[in-house]
Structure formats: structure tokens, C-alpha cells
Structure 1
Amino acid sequence: MARARLLRLGLALGSVGMVLLIIAYWDSVGPAHFSPHAAFSRPRTPGPRPSPGQAAGRELAPDVDEFLEKLLGAGTRQSVLPGKKTEPPPPPAPSRPAPGSMEESVRGYDWSSRDAPQSPDADGQQAARRGVLRDFCANTSFVFPAKERSFDDIPNYELNHLIVDDRHGVIYCYVPKVACTNWKRVMIVLSESLLDRGAPYRDPLDIPREYVHNSSTHLTFNKFWRRYGKFSRHLMKIKLKKYTKFLFVRDPFVRLISAFRSKFELENEEFYRKFAVPMLRAYANHSSPPASVSEAFGAGLRVTFSHFIQYLLDPRTERLAPFNEHWRQVHRLCHPCQIEYDFVGKLETLDQDAAQLLRLLKVDGRLHFPPSYRNRTASSWEEDWFANIPLAWRQQLYKLYEADFVLFGYPKPEHLLRD
């Protein structure tokens, strides 16, 4: 019996030692797979990557992610592992709204394709955006909550917006209301994480919207603990070091207007019950709002933009739960002072930035960024939307989102913040 126990202990220690050796090896070599779209190690800053021909003569690393999944996943395996290819049920009717519909009017769809302009200063623009981030993250006089914590201090549940594609070595932090639906579609195509009749999707627009926002479709950092246990943080750091990391941002106040329009001007049962009903009770003196959004809309009862701003400024809101992701600050979703992003795109220059990013990732030959919504929620609308918002509220709201304005280079909206 003692000999059997010693044997089992030796095997366990040997397995752990092997895992540590593999992690150390991967840390020095980087990810590479026997895939037609193999990803090679990248430098810290974006730049040209070696082609498969240039890598000839060098032995490719095994699929370490798959190996660790098999070795460490025993007993923690989910029914469908994050990142595994899954086959959705038969696709429903097309998700594109009919022209003239309420959804089309509010969201502002534009399904026409167009060529993105090529900026002669594209690389310089990226360097400038990353420089602004680095400078303010290092500036000790500029402070905001959670700025000084380390990556290890970030709770696991706050890493749920970081989507990983191991096939191409890409990490995308998605920000709702900043073209995230289409960027998620691109990540599904790249990672081949979702199948359509047995084959991976090739055209991002073929992926139904409801599958795009299903959390089981994507491998995100917060799922690593269930797959890798105590090795999860180390593997995250390796991937953050080796992979190309990107996010897209938007003027913070315009993003708030867009969130309000899509979640409260359209009939959304979930957002009505969870957010509109409490707003109507707290700020509109409706003690018993209708039970459903259709009843409320039928009675002409809706939350106003003023109610929404009151809700954001109310200290009770954050005490009950963190902001919903559609209006949570970008620095709380993507942690730009703990993660050094290689590419910072902006919705205001979406076509240009999307084309540049796909070239950087060397995938521009196999897919194009899908046509996006017309940006009907524009900066020029801010004065109209904030016209009935008291000055003191506007100033408080700016302080709430100041870090996003500063970190991502958006000018302070002085015209909204003074008499």
C-alpha cells in the first residue's frame, strides 16, 4: 500500500513538473499551432510578423493550450468547454431589421459595403493613442479607482470582456456600444469557435446576433480558472505578453446616449424589468409601473434620459451592483493601466482603424470587417440630449467618466460643463 501511494505521489509530482516545464517553454517560445492559420510569436509592439516560410527549419511548439486542457481539465471539464467548436441550433430568420423598423431607426443600420480610407499617418496615430495611455497610467497625479492595482489584483469576474483567439494570437477586449457585435463576429471567424452545418463560419455577417452575444461562444479570461486552475493567471500573463491585444473605444458621453437609445427606446423586456422599473419608481414617482415593457410602451410610459442620468449618479446604484456593461466605464471593462494594448481603435474612425487592424493581424486577405451601423448617435447630438440635464449633474457625470475621456484622448466637453 505504501509503495502504491508513493508511486501515485511520484506520478502527480511528475505531471506538475511537466506542466511547469511546458509553461516555461511556452513563455520563451510563444504559441504556434499546426493550423493553416498558424500564429507565431509577436514582439511587444505591433510590427511585421514572420511568414510560415520564414519559420522553416524551426520546430513548431505543440498545442500547449490543448495539452494543458487535457492534463489539467480532469474533474473540471464543462459539458462544452469554452473555446471548443460548438454547433448552434438551426439559424433563425435573418437578424437584419426591415428598413423603416423602429430598431432600424434607433440603431441606424448600414449594410452597404464601402472601402475604408487609408490614412498616411495610421501608424503614427496608433503610437500617439498608446502613448497617451502610457503617460496617464504612469502619471501619479492622475488617479481613479483601481488604477494602482496590479493585474493579479483584478478579480476573475472582471476579466470576462477579454476574448482570446489562440489560432492567431489575438486578445480583444469588447466594449458594448462600440461595434462590439461585429468585432465578436470577427473573433468567431478567426477562432473557428462556432460551426454552421459542420463547418466554421467564414463570413462574419452570417453569424446570427443571438449566437454572437452568447457567452459560451467565446473563450474569455474569466473562464481560465475552470480550465487551468492555479496555472490560469500565469497563462493569462503569457498570452498578454505574446498576443496582439486590441480594443475599440468611443466618446464616453456619446456612448451613454447610444446605450440609452438602444436599451430604453426599444422594447427590451430584460432591461425594462431590471433597470427601467426601478428608475420609474425612484425618479418618476410611479409606485406600480406596468409589469411588461409592451404594457408600459402602450401606455406611453418610458424612462427619460434624465431618469437614466439620475440612476447613474445615484450612489445607491453602485452599492447594489456594478454598472451594467453597456454603461460601465471602459477602464473598468478593459483595465488599460494593467494591460498594455497594442492597438486602440475608435468608433469615430472605425472603417480606417478596422482595415488597419486586420492588416496588422495578417487576416485582411480572408475577411473584411462587416458593414456597421450608421453612427446616428453623433457628437453633435450631445447638446440636444443634455439640454434638459442640470449643469451640476453634467459636471458629476463628467467626473464619473473622466478617466475614459483622459485615457483615450477625448477632449473635455467644456460646452456641456459650464453655464
Structure 2
Amino acid sequence: MSQREDRQQSIEDILAGCSNRVRKDHINEICHTHSWSPPEVTYRMLFVIEDYKLLYCDLPKCGSTTFKTILGDLVMPVGYDYDMNHFTDVTGYRMFDDLSKEEQEVVMKDYFKMIVLRHPLDRLRSTYMDKLMLVDPDGNRTRENYKKGIKQYLIEKGQVTEESFELHKDIMNFEQFLDLVSLQRANFKNIHWDTYWNLCSPCEFKYDLIIKLETLNDDVQGLYDYLRSVNSSARLPEVIPRTHIRIRDKNANRLSVVSDMLKDMNQDIITNITELYRKDMIWAGYDWNREDGAICKLGSRSCC
């Protein structure tokens, strides 16, 4: 067995519950069964850490800040205050898009590839809370960037007039946000609510490690195990570092919040938004129904 296979087997042994192997087998089956392809292949979210032969698909609102901090701490001083907008400039890490064709082929063949996921509807909830509802610099920028699209939508719905919107800077509610996202208008597109399928090309990149935020505390050990197998002295945090993710007791259902938010929502809006993210939910192992709400479902298995 090769060193890379040894590392992978170790990770299979570490992950509990709905194991990494089950997740990988599920994705492989979906890719084999369905002839889906993204409208255009994009590599803009793929980080390459050459010293560790690691490729990471950096999905916004899927622990992005947390995992970039973990990976950044491998090369930066302890406690370094990262500007995530200039992460590659600071760390020296590269983007897959910037590699030559030959370098890309080496990465796809030989590098260890990881992705971090969460239920798409919970990701939308988190995006809405952080980018449109909370009063913080980043949220303010998002609202300003998409003010035209938000205003157009609210005026069409009869919620505001041109004058009242400018006066009160009305913020749409979560139901309206989902409705507007489902319309896929050019003036309201953003990587924070783009699909996993478009951003991470799961059938092109065969990911070796699939981490779920729903089981983050257990799953992150798989990453740590891989990094230590490359460098036994790798500096890794004892707990998840400086994270915006609120980690609950592992027995708590982190999907209950978004389920409660959706249970009384307009059925047509839920149908439209779940249809938009249907591919994401199928291949990543999630589902939604009125009775159970947002759930994990890997084929016939009710685990994440």
C-alpha cells in the first residue's frame, strides 16, 4: 500500500458515523449515475498548498474562515490576524487557476483533495444572517453591492417605493431572500449563494476528504491526521480556531434552526429554492421535506 493510501486508510478509520468512505462512495455513485455538468467549470475557489500536497475547495459559508486559518497557521506566526481577502498574498499559497496545465494535472492526480460542506439551506440561512441582516462592515458591503437587485425585487413585490427604500434602507426578510436567490437574476448573484456544484466541480475533482459542518468536531480530525502524516510537527490547534462557526454539542441537531425558519414559509418559494439546490443536496447527502425539515440523507442512510 502506498504512503498516500496509508494516509487515506487512516482517515477512513478516524471518521465515525456516516464515514468519509461512505460519503465518497455516495458522491462517486451520483457522478456515475447522473450526467450532470456545471454550466462552466470554474477553479476560482480551489487553494493549493504545495508543501502539504493539499487541494482545498474553499466554499463560502462552509467554515471558510476557520479552515483558511488552520491552513494559514501552518506557515504563519501564531495569532496572525488574517485578511481573508488577501489570503494567498500573505501565505504564499496558490490558486489552482493560476497553475500551468501541467501543474494542474499533477495536482489532480497526486494531491490530497478536501472539501467542506453544510446543508445548502443552512448555508443560505447563515449567508442571510451574516451578509444581509447583521450590521457589520462585510454585511454592509454586501447590502450595498446588491442594493439595486434588492430594491428592484421589493418594489416589484409592492413592499417599498423608490423613496421609502432610500429612506429606510429596507432589508428583505429570509423568505424574500430565498425567493430572490431562486430567481437567479444577474444583479443578485454571489459566490456566497452560488451552488457547490458550480464552485467545486465534485465529479471532476475526486475529493479524498469530505468534511461536514454538522459533524465538524469529529471530521476535522481527518484533516489533522493527514497534515501530521506529512509533517509530524505541523502546528494545529487543539480546538477549532477563531471561528465564526458556533459549534454545538455533537448530539444537537444544527439543522433545527433553519427547519424552524422554513416550516411556515410559502410552499412555492421552498419548492423553487430546493429545486435550485437539488443537485447540491443529492450529491452532498442532504434533503428537505415538510415533515422532517432539513435533514442529512446519504442514499438510504439518515446520517451526514
- TM-score bracket, normalised by the shorter chain, equals 0.7 to 0.9
- In the aligned structure 2, how far is the partner of 1:41 from the partner of 1:337? 24
Equivalents in 1 of 2:282, 2:7: separation in Å?
22
Are the equivalent residues in 1 in contact too, given 2:113–2:209 (CA < 8 A)?
yes
CA contact (8 A) 1:290 1:296 kept: yes
Task: Tell me if the contact between 1:279 and 1:303 (Cα under 8 Å) persists in the aligned partners.
Answer: yes
Could you tell me which of 288, 291, 296 is aligned with 1:412?
Answer: 288
Aligned pairs for 1:256-271 (under 5 A) are: 256-267=124-135, 268-271=139-142
* Corresponding position: 1:393 with 2:285: no
Alignment deviations for residues 183-218 of structure 1 (CA, whole Å, 9 cap, x no partner):
11122223x3xxxxxxx32x3xx2324x12325434
Distance 2:201 2:7 in 1: 18
1:339 aligned partner: 205
Q: Tell me which amino acid in the other structure corresponds to 1:207.
A: Y
Find out whether 1:130 has 2:24 as its counterpart: yes
Q: 1:378 to 1:47 in 2, by over 3 A?
A: closer
2:72 aligned residue: 188
CA distance in 2 between partners of 1:42 and 1:123 (Å): 23
SS across alignment from 1:159: coil
Aligned to 1:139: 33
Residue 250 (structure 1) aligns with: 118
Residue 353 of structure 1, CA deviation: 0.8
Q: Report the TM-score when normalising by structure 2.
A: 0.78
Residue 44 of structure 2 is matched in structure 1 by: 160
Structure 1 residues 324 and 364, CA gap change in structure 2 (3 angstroms): farther
Q: By how many angstroms is 1:41 displaced?
A: 7.2
1:359 to 225, 232, 244: 225
* Structure-1 separation of matches of 2:188 and 2:177: 15
Q: 2:9 and 2:68 mapped to 1: Cα distance?
A: 23
Amino acid at match of 1:312: V
Question: Equivalents in 2 of 1:145, 1:240: separation in Å?
Answer: 18
Q: Distance in 2 between matches of 1:416 and 1:309?
A: 19
SS at match of 1:46: helix
Q: 1:273: how far off?
A: 1.4
CA–CA separation in structure 2 for the residues paired with 1:120 and 1:183: 19
Shift of 1:290: 5.8
1:208 matches 2:81: yes
SS in 2 for 1:164: strand
Structure 2: which amino acid aligns with 1:279?
Answer: I
- Consecutive unaligned residues of structure 2, counting only runs of 5 or more, are 294-304
Segment of structure 1 superposing worse, 119-128 or 341-350: 119-128
Larger-Rg structure: 1
**C-alpha separation in 1, matches of 2:124 and 2:196:** 12
Aligned ranges 1:11-410 → 2 under 5 Å:
42-43=4-5, 46-47=8-9, 122=16, 125-140=19-34, 143-146=35-38, 154=41, 158-190=42-74, 192=75, 200-201=76-77, 203=78, 206-209=79-82, 211-214=83-86, 216-217=88-89, 218-224=93-99, 232-267=100-135, 268-283=139-154, 284-288=159-163, 296=168, 301-315=170-184, 317=185, 320=186, 323-362=189-228, 365=233, 366-368=235-237, 369-370=240-241, 372=243, 373-375=245-247, 378-410=254-286
* Aligned residues of 1:277 and 1:289 also touching (Cα < 8 A): no
Residue 213 to residue 122, structure 1, CA distance change in 2 (3 Å): farther
Check the 8 A contact 1:250/1:347 in 2, yes or no: yes
Q: Deviations over 1:161-196 (max 9, x none)?
A: 110111111111111111110111122223x3xxxx
Question: Unaligned regions of 5+ residues in structure 1, if any?
Answer: 1-39, 50-118, 148-152, 193-199, 225-231
Query: TM-score normalised to the size of structure 1?
Result: 0.58
**1:212-237 Cα distance to aligned partner (Å, 9 max, x none):** 2325434111222xxxxxxx122112
The offset of 1:304, in angstroms, is: 1.2
User: Structure 1 pair 145/322, CA: closer, same or farther in 2 (3 Å)?
Assistant: farther
User: Residue 109 of structure 2 aligns to a residue in which SS?
Assistant: helix
Q: 1:260 to 1:364 in 2, by over 3 A?
A: farther
Number of paired residues?
A: 271
State the distance in 2 between where 1:394 and 1:207 align.
Answer: 41
Residue type at the aligned position of 2:255: S
Higher RCO by CA contacts (8 Å cutoff, separation 6 or greater): 2
SS of residue matched to 2:101: helix
Aligned match of 2:299: none
Amino acid of the residue matched to residue 133 of structure 1?
I
**Alpha-carbon separation, structure 2, partners of 1:286 and 1:274:** 19
Aligned mates of 2:18, 2:120 — CA distance in 1: 23
Maintained 8 Å contact 1:281/1:289: no
Give 1:388 deviation, angstroms: 4.8
Pairwise CA distance, 1:404: 1.2
Post-superposition Cα deviations, 1:270-294, rounded to whole Å, max 9, x if no partner, equal 1111224421332233324666xxx
Say which SS state the counterpart of residue 265 (structure 2) adopts.
coil
Contact 2:14 2:221 in 1 (8 A): no
State the 1:121 CA deviation: 5.3
Q: Residue type matched to 2:125 in 1?
A: I
**How far apart are the structure 1 equivalents of 2:6 and 2:209?**
11
1:14 maps to which residue? none
For 1:406, give the aligned amino acid.
I
